[in-house]
Every structure is written in C-alpha cells, then in structure tokens.
C-alpha cells in the first residue's frame, strides 16, 4: 500500500521542518509549502491525502487557500486541517465554515497532531 | 399864445441845431476849417459830436406829445444810439481804451488835426451833456411832476455847462488851452448845447419848473424879466472888468471891488424893481378888493330894501281879501255853534249822571271787597275810637277773643275789656302812644288753652282832619314764624360754633374783597397780619403784606375764573414760622354770579416740618446714592437718566451732566443688547425687581466693561412707580477672572483628554500586545513543543546529532522569545516613562564596531554590515545602552527587510554637538500608506508579508531617540530601499546632562 501524502503549509521554516520530520517518522509522505500560493503550485502536480495549513502567511493566507481548493472540483475532497496560532473562536469558526475539517491551536504536541491526522487518514 | 410861441421856439431851435450839425459834418467832409472851428486856435467840433447833435435834434423834432407811437419809437432809437455812443466814449475816457469811438469818423483828418496840435476830440462835458439831454428827452413829456422837474433841471445843467464853456472863450480862460484833457468844447458845440437846453426847457413849458416862468402871475412876469438880466449883466460886467484888466488900466483888487459893488448895485436895483412892482400890484389888488366889497354891500342893501317893500305890499293885499272872507264864514259858524252848544249841554248832563251811577256801583263793589278782606284776613283787626271804645272788629278777632279770652266783643265796649288781664297795662300804654300819633308794634306771648301763642300786635293811629280820631290794632299770629326763626337761629349758632371752632381760618369776602365774616380761628391766627386787627367791612388787602399783594391778586383773579390756587406761606414770621396753606375759592350767588370769595387758611407747620424732614431724608438718600462706592443710576418711566452717581461717572467715564436727561438704552447700550434691556426695564416698570443681569457697557473711551445690574422700581409718594433705580457692580475684572478660570478648565480638560487618550492608547497597546503575543509566542512555542515531543517520541530511533539539532532549535526559539519579551518590556518602560537616561563617555569607533559585529553574528551572517565613521571626536557622551537599542533595531530591520541582499550600511558622522547615524538597506522599502503609523507599536508594514516581527522595533527606536532628545527621519522607496537618519545631541562630558 502506497504511503499517504500530507501537504504541510507554514511560513515559519523551523516549524514546517519540525512537522514534516515527525510525520515522516510516522511513515507519511510529506510535501512542504511556505504559503497558500506555493501550496496551490504544488497541488498542480501532486494530490495529497491531507493538507495541514497555517492561517497567517505572506502572499496567500490559509483562508484564501481553503477557499480556492474548495472551489476546485478535483481538490475539494482533500481534507484540510488548520494548525494556527490564532487564538480566537472567530478564526476557527471561519476556517471550519470554509471547509476545514479540524482546527488545531498552536502550540500543540506531536500526539495531538498525530491523533487528528490518524483519525482522518492512515499512513 | 405866449406858451404856444415857446413850443414853436423849441422846434425852431431844434431845426437850427440840426442845420449846424449837418454844416459841421459837411465842413469835415470838405475840410472847411471855419466850419470845424469858427474861432481859430480853439477846439473844433468832433464829427461824432456833430453826429450826436444831428441825432438828438432829429429825436427832439420827432418827439412831440401828438406823434404816433412808431415815430416816438424812432425818436427813442435815435436817442438810444446817442446814449450808446456817449457811454462808449465815457468808457474810453475813464478806461483808456485804444479804439476811441470819436476817432472812427474821419480818422485820418482827426490824426492830422492832432498832429497840428489842434484839438478836435469829443470832450467829457459834451459827453455828459448828451447823456443828460438823453435822459431829459425821456422824462420831459412825462405826466409826473418830479420827472419833468428832473428833465428841466438836466436842461439847466446842460445850459450851465455850455455857458461855462462860452464864458471860457469870452474870458480867454487859459485852462481851456488843452491843458485839461477832455475839457475844451468847441464854441459852436457850446452854442448848440445852450440852444439844446433852451429847446428842452421850451419843449413842455406848461409843466414842471417852467410853469413858474410861463404863468401869468406876478412872480412869473418878474422872473421873465429878472432871469435874462441876471444871466447877461454878470457876463457883461465880468467881461468889462477883464477888458480893463487886459489893458492894464485897473488892478485885480480894484477890479474885484468894482465887480462886487456893481453886483450889489444890480441886485439892489433888481430887488427894488421887484419890490416896487409887487407892492404896486398888491396895492392895486387891495384897492380893487375894497371897492368890490363896497359895491357889493351897497348892492345887497338895496336888494334887501326892495324885497321887503314888495313883500309888505303883497301881504297887505292878501290880508284884506282874507279878512273879508273870514267875516262871512264867522257869521255862518256862529249860528252852527249855537246849535252844537245846546246839544253838548244835554250830552254832558247825561254823561255826568252815568258816571255818578258807575262810581256808586264801584264804591259799593269796593266796600264789598273790603268787607270780604276784612272778614277773611288771618289778622285780627280791631278799630277803636280815640276814647278807647271798640268801634269795629273783624271775624278773626272775634273768634280769637271768644276762643282764648272767653269774652264776646261788642261795639261800644272799652277795649281793655277785650284784652287779657295780664296784658292790659301794656295795651293801655300802647293805645296811649297810638292816640299820641305813634305807631308801635309788640310781640305778645299768650298762654292760650291750645298752647302758647305769639302774636304780633300793631297799634296804628288813624288821622282825620289833622288829629287822631281812631286807633287800629292789627294782630297777626306769628307763632309758627317765631318757631322757625328760633330754629334758624339755633342752626346758625351751630354753624357759627363750627365756623368758630374749626382750626382752619376762614374769611368770607364780598365781590369787592371786603370782609363779610371771619371765624375765631382767623382772628386768632391772623391777629398780627400786617400788624392789624381784622375788621368786618375792611378791604382784605389791607391785611396782606405788600410783598404778597401780587400773589394775592393773582389768586383772586384765578378764583374769579373758578380756579383755585393753593399758596403756602409762613404767615407769622417770628422765631418759629407758622406755615399756612391758603386757598381762595369763588362763592356764587344762586344765579351763578359772583357773590364773593371764601379765603381759608390752614396751619400746615407740622406738615411742613414733616415735608422738610422728608426733604432732608431725600437729600441724605441722594447724597448716599451719589457718594456710594458702587455705581447707582436711575431712569424715569420713559428711560431717561435722572440719577447718576459719582462711581457711575467714574466707571462709565460719562459725567453726570452728560448722562442726565439722555435716553439710557440708546445712548449707553450697545445695539445687540438694547432689546433685552428694554424688556428688563419694561418688567421693572411693571413692578418686578430684577437682579443679577449682566450687561456690557461701552465707556466714553470705548473700553468695554461688564456690569452686574440689579434693577428695582422707584416709587413716588403715592406709591406709583416713577422710574427705575439700578445698582450696578463692575464685574469686568471678575469676568476676566472667570474667563481665566474657564481657560484653565479648558486646559485641564484638554490635558485630561490627552491623558485619557494615552490611557486608551495603552489599553489599545495592551490588547495589541495580547494579540501579538498570542501569535508571536505561539509559533516558537509550537516549534519547542514539537522538538521536545520529537526527542521524547523517537529518541531510540534517532541519532545523537539529530537530538542536538533539535535542542539547538529549542534554544534558538527560546532566545527569539526572549528578544520578543525584552522588546515588549522596553516599550512598556518607555511608555510608562520609567527609563532614565544614563550618560557615559564612550569611544566612538570601538562602540560602533562592536555593535556591528554583534548584529552580524546574531543575524546568521546573512548580510555584511558596512560601517563608515567620519567623526571629529573620538569619544562621545551619551547613554550607550539606549544608542545600542536604536542602532541594533535599525540594523536588524535593515537586514530583515532586505532579504537576499549582500549588505546593509551603517554610517556615523558628527557635527558640533550632534551625532548622526544613518542605516541604509536596499530592501523592500516602506509604502507611503504605512508612513503615518510607522513608529506605532505593533504596527507592521503592509508589504512585510512573511517577514517575522512584533511591530515593536521602530516604536522602541522612536521612543529611545525621543528620550535622548534626538530626531529621526526616514527616506524610503518601495523595492529600492530605506534609509533611517538619526540625529542625537551630544555632550562633551557626561556632566553636561543635568540628570
């Protein structure tokens, strides 16, 4: 069985690297992107099984990104998990309304992230 | 006839003048010298003069009273031309005109004459003569006497002037030798004027002065002889005297003496002639008159005589005829009269009988009436004979005696029997008196059974044949009248009691101001009026002091008209004057006519004292107001100033004289406030008192003062509102103080608002900090969390290096968080003003080198820091820690916002007292939209994108620069780079800084 691919979008290099490292350790294929635009570029040739995205990013923020893939028939079924430092309920509600399946608030432990990911897909 | 002759002479003379003037003009034309100047060497007649003579003679010839208006107009035009020519000539003489009018005709010939010293100009007296002749021409035919006189006087003047000129030639007067310009007149000119004068005088000889010469009275006859003599004789004598003089036979003095003597002789002879002729004439006249009268009287007498004789004759004839007729008629009448006499005798007898019968009837009627009166009168009548016996009595008497005395009176009884016993003595005495011829009257009080009665008894003697034959006693009942009288007396007494006891003094005067009555109070109070005691019947003015008579007369005059004047005067002027108010009123008759006057005087001394007290109080009050130390002023009901105290004058700078009587609102109040002030005044006049209204007033010098006014109504003695009194307070300074306070409050409010704003900004800052912290701290925390989790979870599966890298990552995140924290703390401190400047002396170059190195290392050596220092000083006094914060932040920013660029620049220069630090990069730049909030905490540029940051860096830089007293300036272009320039004041030593 082919390993599942996860697209990790975060503008903080250290954090993006950290997430990718432990996902790899758990047997997931990963693709990194620094913002929404980069992610969309990646999605042109790679269809991941799951997307983990930050919200506040330069060039294209997470909200716009979610809107864009939900508007694309080929991409709209990809489950999106939001991993954001935004502390308010409003941001969470907005992201979920746009079509995100989960909202993880930074800072979170590896277990929290993995439990969420594993709940949606298996490696 | 003679008069007709004169007029014809006048016309003849006019023709002669015309001929002469034409001849002279011809002489000029033909150069006939003897025509121009008949006497060689004298002045010639000017052609213009000749022309004027021609025109004048034409005019005079044309102008007679009988001519038609058209001819008269032509004559007037001719004279008008002469007048204009002469006026021009006069102007030439007096104003020295060059173009002389008299040189127009024959100019060249005139010039030749002048050159030959021959005078031919039109002289001044000729000109004047023409003008006189012109005026005389217009006046001479006038109907008014004085105009004609003027014309004839003008003619006389012309004649005199002409004679003067002729005499000049005759007597060879030297002045005529051109020595006086404009004077000489040609001989024939003078002659013509003399003729002209004669023509004018003869033109209307029956009127004006000429009448005196032309009448047929003696005076005129004498004058006609005397005037030519008086003209010619002196000329002749003068000439003879001069001839002697010229031949040297007689000296000047003898000549004059002879002239005087001969004049005397001539005058005396003339007067004698005159007297003689007058006397002769007079004597003849008188003799004629006498003779006339004598004849007259004789004639009259003769007339009378013949008339009388005639009348007598005719009268005698008539008488004879009449007597005859009468005789015949008398005979006839005599027989007729006899018949008539018989008839008349019979008639008279019948008439007499008739009259006697009528008289008898009248008498019996009269007796009957008398009897009725006698019987029915209310008065009792008793007739007695001289012996005292009752002769007759009437029914009233009878009834009275029966009822009251119980006696039945009868004729023939002694009258004392019908008299009540108690009154018999009196009755006897009265009867005796009556018999003696005296009439007497007595009131009898009778105790009648019906009550007391009063009767008036009158005893009257009846005379017959020179003695008293009877006595009549008439008794009338006056009981009621008596009672009424006593009532009237009582009421009079009451009135008198009131009149006398009233404290007011009264005097009643008749219409002639005589005292009719006065009361006790008057006699008491007015005792020493003018030093006299008041008497009834005296003229009241006798009691009035001289100095008050005019007032008194005036009061009387007013009273007569029905008016009343009250007059107050101290009537008793001793030590304590007693004041009286005197009123005089008119007293009318029942028909409304003037009966007299009532003068009343009331003592008002107390009232006067009260008034005086009031006046004193009022004066004091007025003084109080005037001297009060607050502005007080008053207005009357119409708003005119009637009170203005000294302080008001001081405050407004308008003196009392300037303010009094002026309308306050329009003269002292600024237009915008007038309406409201009028409103206030209206309310006060209506009775309200209005306190505390502020009113700005412009003083005389234009200064504006603020008054706080209290206005209250002012009352008069009858408690009516008579105006407004205002008490003011000058609150100009108070207002200024208040305004100062208001300004201060505004200042404080502003400060408070600023503090509130700052507070708000702080709250804002805190919320921004929370928001920033939640994001900026969560990201490194996430990294740390993930790193630790990673080590824990995979520590058996990963290498030691892997773990070290994760740990390094953790340390880096912690450091990052630490920086963030420090920034936040710095901002907090500077915002709260808790940072103290700590000046130290540092060496310039090593300080910046170390800083550049540190930043280079901490920023992962991505950018080279190019440091250039151009400083004159080697050391500087500043707070090195603060300067470090500024430079590190700017350098870090420059590196952070120029990703991929090789280097940033740090340039340090200095001026006299300033350190200048420039940090430049070639990075993304700052959009213009972000300039405004560039230095605000937590603000981040719109183009910063994924570049991490808290938004605190520049905020910290700005605040730190402010603390050092420096300035910050930024130059930037998007995608080209940014340069921050800092200027910080330096101190040579750290002691320079006071804190």
Closest to B645 (Cα-Cα) out of B658, B633, B653: B633
Q: What are phi and psi of B793, to 5 degrees?
A: -75, -35
Q: Given the structure tokens 């003089």, which residue do they identify?
A: B245
Q: Where are the domains of chain A?
A: 5-116
Closest to A41 (Cα-Cα) out of A67, A80, A68, A17: A68
Comparing alpha-carbon positions, the chain A residue that sits nearest to B796 is: A25
Beta carbons of A15 and B782 less than 8 Å apart: yes
Taking residue B444's Cβ as centre, other Cβ atoms within 10 Å add up to 17
Cα–Cα–Cα angle for B955, B956, B962, nearest 5°?
Answer: 90
CB of B812 less than 8 A from some CB of A: yes
Write down the pLDDT at residue B995.
41
The Cα A99–Cα A116 span in angstroms is: 16
Q: Which residues does A contribute to its contact with B (CB < 8 Å)?
A: 11-12, 14-15, 18-19, 21-22, 25, 34-35, 56-59, 85-87, 105-111
Question: How would you classify the pairing of strands B903-910 and B864-870?
Answer: parallel
- Contacts A–B by Cβ distance under 8 A: 72
Task: Write out the two tokens for B509.
Answer: 């005067």
Comparing alpha-carbon positions, the chain B residue that sits nearest to A34 is: B946
Coil/strand/helix, residue B518: strand
Name chain B contacts of A111, Cβ cutoff 8 Å. 789
The Cβ-side half-sphere exposure at B152, using a 13 Å CA radius, reads: 21
Closest to B651 (Cα-Cα) out of B579, B576, B733, B588: B733
Q: Strand order in B641-644's β-sheet?
A: B641-644, B632-636, B721-730, B704-715, B690-698
Beta carbons of B785 and A14 less than 8 Å apart: no
Beta carbons of A25 and B786 less than 8 Å apart: no
Write down the pLDDT at residue B559.
86
Which of A14, A85, A110 is closest, CB to CB, to B809? A14
| Residue from B771, B775, B780, B786 to probe the interface with A (highest A Cβ count within 10 Å) | B786
Beta carbons of A15 and B794 less than 8 Å apart: no
Burial of B197 (0-12, 13-18, 19+ CB in 10 A): buried
The Cα B228–Cα B239 span in angstroms is: 17
Name chain A contacts of B786, Cβ cutoff 8 Å. 15, 18-19, 22, 107, 109-110
Coil/strand/helix, residue B467: strand
Task: Write out the two tokens for B722.
Answer: 């008579």
Which of A22, A35, A86 is closest, CB to CB, to B775? A86
Beta carbons of B790 and A22 less than 8 Å apart: yes
Q: How far is the CA of B394 from the CAs of B374, B405, B902, in angstroms?
A: 6, 16, 181
Query: Which residues are within 8 A (CB) of B609 and not within 5 positions of it... i.e. 6 or more apart?
Result: none
* Size of chain A in residues: 123
The Cα A117–Cα A49 span in angstroms is: 10
Task: Write out the two tokens for B632.
Answer: 């007080």
The Cα B663–Cα B343 span in angstroms is: 113
ipTM of the complex model = 0.89
The Cα B840–Cα B967 span in angstroms is: 20
Global confidence as pTM: 0.34
Name chain B contacts of A106, Cβ cutoff 8 Å. 778-779, 781-782
The Cα B751–Cα B530 span in angstroms is: 93
* Helix count and strand count (H, E) for chain B: 27, 22
Task: Write out the two tokens for B625.
Answer: 């107001």
Task: Write out the two tokens for B565.
Answer: 């004047």
Q: How far is the CA of B284 from the CAs of B289, B315, B395, in angstroms?
A: 9, 47, 110
Give the gap in angstroms from C-alpha A64 to the nearest C-alpha of chain B: 15
Coil/strand/helix, residue B977: strand
Beta carbons of A21 and B790 less than 8 Å apart: yes
Beta carbons of B946 and A22 less than 8 Å apart: no
Contact B724, B712 (CB under 8 A): yes
Beta carbons of B946 and A35 less than 8 Å apart: yes
Give the gap in angstroms from C-alpha B988 to the nearest C-alpha of chain A: 47
Contact B231, B260 (CB under 8 A): no
The Cα B397–Cα B829 span in angstroms is: 153
Q: What is the DSSP string of B750-810?
A: HHHHHHHHHHHHHHHHHHHHHHHHHHHHHHHHHHHHHHHHHHHHHTTTS-HHHHHHHHHHH
Write down the pLDDT at residue B971.
92
Contact B782, A8 (CB under 8 A): no
Q: Strand order in B515-518's β-sheet?
A: B515-518, B505-510, B594-603, B578-588, B566-572
- Continuous segment of H or E residues that includes residue B678: helix B671-685
The Cα B187–Cα B607 span in angstroms is: 109
Name the packing angle between helices B145-170 and B187-203 (round to 10°).
160
- Continuous segment of H or E residues that includes residue B165: helix B145-170
Beta carbons of B782 and A108 less than 8 Å apart: yes
The Cβ-side half-sphere exposure at B130, using a 13 Å CA radius, reads: 31
Give the gap in angstroms from C-alpha A26 to the nearest C-alpha of chain B: 10
The Cβ-side half-sphere exposure at B584, using a 13 Å CA radius, reads: 21
Q: Given the structure tokens 């969560």, which residue do they identify?
A: B778
Beta carbons of A108 and B947 less than 8 Å apart: no
Beta carbons of A22 and B784 less than 8 Å apart: no
Which ranges constitute the DSSP H helices of B583-645? Answer: 605-627
The Cα B558–Cα B597 span in angstroms is: 11
Contact B538, B529 (CB under 8 A): no
Beta carbons of B946 and A57 less than 8 Å apart: yes
Name chain B contacts of A85, Cβ cutoff 8 Å. 774-776, 778-779, 782
The Cα B265–Cα B282 span in angstroms is: 25
Give the gap in angstroms from C-alpha A82 to the nearest C-alpha of chain B: 14
Q: Given the structure tokens 């880096």, which residue do they identify?
A: B812
Question: How would you classify the pairing of strands A50-53 and A5-9?
Answer: parallel
Name the packing angle between helices A110-120 and A13-25 (round to 10°).
60
CB of B783 less than 8 A from some CB of A: yes
Closest to B633 (Cα-Cα) out of B614, B615, B650, B616: B650
Which of A18, A56, A58 is closest, CB to CB, to B786? A18
Beta carbons of A106 and B946 less than 8 Å apart: no
Coil/strand/helix, residue B461: strand
Query: Which residues are within 8 A (CB) of B978 and not within 5 positions of it... i.e. 6 or more apart?
Result: B894, B897, B920, B921, B923, B925, B926, B970, B971, B972
Name chain B contacts of A87, Cβ cutoff 8 Å. 774-775, 778
Comparing alpha-carbon positions, the chain B residue that sits nearest to A105 is: B778
Write down the pLDDT at residue B989.
57
CB of B778 less than 8 A from some CB of A: yes
CB of B781 less than 8 A from some CB of A: yes
Tell me the β-bridge partners of B784. Answer: none
- What torsion, rounded to 10 degrees, do the Cα atoms B968, B974, B978, B983 define? -20
CB of B789 less than 8 A from some CB of A: yes
Within chain B, which residues score under 50 in pLDDT?
A: 1, 527, 990-995
Task: Write out the two tokens for B322.
Answer: 């009449």
Contact B681, B724 (CB under 8 A): yes
Coil/strand/helix, residue B816: helix
Beta carbons of A110 and B790 less than 8 Å apart: yes
Q: Given the structure tokens 């404009």, which residue do they identify?
A: B182
The Cα B513–Cα B534 span in angstroms is: 13
- What torsion, rounded to 10 degrees, do the Cα atoms B538, B542, B544, B550 define? 110
Write down the pLDDT at residue B769.
73
Which of A21, A35, A106 is closest, CB to CB, to B782? A106
Comparing alpha-carbon positions, the chain A residue that sits nearest to B813 is: A14
Q: What is the pLDDT of residues B460-471, one digit of tens each?
A: 888 888 888 888
Comparing alpha-carbon positions, the chain A residue that sits nearest to B783 is: A15
Name the CATH code of domain A5-116 (choices 3.40.30.10, 3.40.50.2300, 3.30.1490.20, 3.90.1150.10): 3.40.50.2300
Query: Which residues are within 8 A (CB) of B669 and not within 5 positions of it... i.e. 6 or more apart?
Result: B677, B695, B697
Which of A18, A58, A108 is closest, CB to CB, to B787? A18
Backbone CA torsion sign across B779, B781, B787, B790: negative
């Amino acid at each position: 069985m082919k390993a599942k691919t996860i697209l990790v979008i975060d503008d903080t290099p250290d954090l993006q690297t950290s997430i990718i490292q432990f996902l790899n350790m758990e047997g997931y294929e990963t693709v990194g992107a620094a913002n929404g635009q980069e992610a969309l570029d990646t999605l042109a040739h790679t269809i991941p099984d799951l997307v983990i995205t930050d919200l506040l990013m330069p060039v294209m923020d997470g909200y716009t990104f979610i809107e864009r893939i939900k508007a694309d028939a080929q991409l709209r079924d990809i489950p999106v998990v939001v991993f954001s430092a935004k502390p308010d309920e409003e941001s969470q509600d907005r992201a979920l309304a746009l079509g995100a399946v989960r909202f993880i608030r930074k800072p979170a432990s590896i277990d929290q992230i993995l439990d969420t990911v594993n709940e949606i897909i298996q490696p | 006839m003679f008069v007709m002759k004169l007029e014809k002479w006048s016309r003849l003379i006019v023709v002669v003048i015309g001929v002469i003037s034409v001849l002279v003009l011809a002489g000029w034309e033909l150069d006939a010298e003897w025509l121009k100047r008949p006497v060689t060497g004298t002045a010639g007649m000017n052609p213009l003069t000749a022309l004027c003579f021609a025109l004048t003679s034409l005019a005079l010839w044309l102008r007679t009273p009988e001519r038609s208006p058209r001819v008269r107009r032509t004559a007037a035009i001719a004279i008008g031309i002469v007048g204009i020519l002469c006026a021009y000539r006069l102007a030439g003489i007096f104003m020295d005109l060059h173009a002389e009018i008299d040189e127009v005709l024959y100019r060249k010939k005139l010039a030749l004459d002048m050159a030959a010293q021959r005078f031919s100009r039109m002289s001044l007296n000729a000109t004047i003569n023409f003008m006189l002749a012109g005026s005389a021409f217009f006046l001479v035919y006038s109907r008014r006497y004085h105009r004609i006189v003027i014309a004839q006087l003008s003619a006389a003047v012309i004649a005199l002037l002409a004679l003067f000129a002729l005499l000049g030639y005759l007597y060879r007067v030297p002045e005529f030798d051109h020595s006086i310009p404009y004077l000489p007149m040609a001989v024939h000119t003078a002659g013509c004027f003399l003729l002209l004068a004669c023509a004018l005088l003869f033109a209307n000889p029956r009127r004006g002065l000429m009448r005196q010469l032309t009448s047929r009275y003696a005076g005129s006859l004498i004058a006609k002889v005397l005037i030519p003599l008086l003209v010619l004789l002196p000329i002749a004598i003068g000439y003879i005297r001069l001839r002697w003089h010229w031949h040297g036979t007689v000296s000047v003095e003898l000549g004059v003496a002879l002239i005087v003597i001969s004049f005397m002789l001539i005058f005396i002879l003339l007067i004698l002639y005159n007297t003689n002729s007058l006397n002769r004439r007079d004597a003849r006249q008188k003799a004629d008159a006498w003779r006339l009268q004598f004849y007259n009287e004789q004639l009259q007498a003769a007339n009378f005589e013949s008339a009388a004789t005639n009348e007598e004759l005719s009268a005698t004839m008539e008488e004879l005829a009449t007597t005859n007729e009468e005789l015949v008629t008398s005979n006839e009448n005599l027989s007729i009269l006899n018949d008539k006499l018989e008839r008349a005798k019979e008639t008279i007898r019948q008439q007499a009988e008739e009259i006697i019968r009528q008289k008898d009837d009248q008498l019996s009627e009269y007796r009957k009436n008398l009897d009725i009166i006698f019987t029915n009168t209310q008065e009792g009548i008793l007739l007695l004979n001289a012996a005292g016996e009752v002769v007759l009595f009437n029914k009233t008497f009878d009834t009275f005696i029966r009822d009251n005395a119980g006696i039945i009176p009868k004729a023939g009884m002694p009258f004392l029997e019908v008299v009540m016993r108690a009154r018999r003595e009196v009755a006897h005495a009265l009867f005796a008196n009556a018999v003696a011829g005296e009439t007497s009257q007595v009131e009898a009080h009778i105790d009648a059974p019906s009550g007391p009665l009063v009767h008036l008894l009158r005893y009257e003697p009846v005379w017959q044949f020179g003695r008293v034959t009877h006595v009549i006693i008439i008794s009338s009942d006056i009981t009621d009248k008596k009672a009424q009288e006593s009532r009237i007396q009582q009421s009079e007494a009451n009135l008198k009691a009131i009149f006398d006891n009233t404290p007011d003094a009264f005097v009643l005067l008749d219409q002639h101001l005589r005292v009719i009555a006065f009361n006790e109070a008057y006699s008491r109070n007015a005792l020493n009026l003018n030093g006299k005691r008041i008497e009834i019947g005296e003229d009241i003015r006798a009691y009035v002091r001289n100095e008050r008579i005019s007032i008194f007369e005036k009061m009387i005059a007013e009273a007569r008209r029905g008016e009343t004047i009250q007059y107050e005067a101290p009537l008793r002027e001793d030590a304590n004057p007693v004041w009286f108010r005197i009123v005089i009123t008119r007293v009318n008759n029942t028909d409304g006519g003037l009966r007299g006057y009532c003068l009343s005087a009331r003592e008002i001394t107390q009232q006067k004292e009260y008034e005086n007290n009031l006046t004193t109080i009022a004066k004091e009050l007025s003084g109080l107001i005037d001297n009060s130390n607050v502005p007080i002023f008053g207005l009357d009901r119409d708003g005119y100033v009637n009170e203005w105290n000294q302080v008001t004058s001081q405050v407004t700078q308008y003196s009392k004289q300037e303010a009094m009587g002026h309308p306050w609102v329009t003269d002292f109040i600024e237009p915008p406030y007038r309406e409201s002030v009028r409103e206030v005044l209206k309310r006060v006049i209506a009775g309200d008192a209005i306190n505390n209204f502020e009113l700005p007033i412009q003083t005389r010098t234009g200064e504006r003062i603020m008054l706080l006014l209290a206005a209250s109504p002012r009352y008069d003695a009858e408690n009516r509102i008579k105006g407004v009194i205002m008490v003011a307070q000058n609150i100009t300074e108070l207002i200024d103080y208040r305004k100062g306070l208001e300004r201060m409050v505004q200042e404080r409010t502003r400060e408070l608002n600023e503090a509130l704003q700052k507070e708000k900004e702080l709250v804002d800052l805190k919320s921004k900090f929370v928001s920033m912290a939640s994001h900026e701290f969560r990201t490194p925390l996430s990294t740390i969390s993930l790193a630790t989790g990673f080590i824990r979870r995979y520590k058996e599966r990963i290498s030691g290096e892997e773990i070290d890298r994760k740990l390094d990552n953790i340390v880096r995140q912690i450091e990052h968080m630490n920086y963030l924290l420090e920034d936040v703390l710095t901002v907090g401190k500077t915002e709260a003003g808790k940072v103290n400047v700590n000046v130290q002396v540092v060496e310039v170059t090593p300080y910046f080198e170390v800083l550049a190195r540190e930043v280079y290392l901490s920023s992962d050596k991505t950018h080279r820091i190019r440091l250039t220092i151009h400083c004159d000083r080697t050391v500087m006094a500043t707070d090195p820690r603060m300067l470090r914060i500024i430079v590190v932040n700017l350098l870090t920013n420059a590196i952070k916002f120029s990703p991929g660029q090789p280097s940033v620049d740090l340039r340090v220069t200095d001026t006299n007292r300033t350190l200048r630090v420039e940090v430049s990069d070639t990075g993304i730049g700052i959009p213009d939209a972000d300039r405004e909030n560039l230095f605000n905490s937590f603000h981040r540029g719109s183009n910063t994108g994924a570049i991490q940051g808290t938004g605190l860096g520049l905020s910290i830089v700005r605040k730190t620069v402010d603390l050092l007293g420096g300035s910050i300036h930024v130059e930037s272009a998007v995608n080209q780079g940014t340069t921050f320039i800092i200027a910080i004041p330096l101190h040579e030593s750290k002691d320079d800084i006071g804190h």
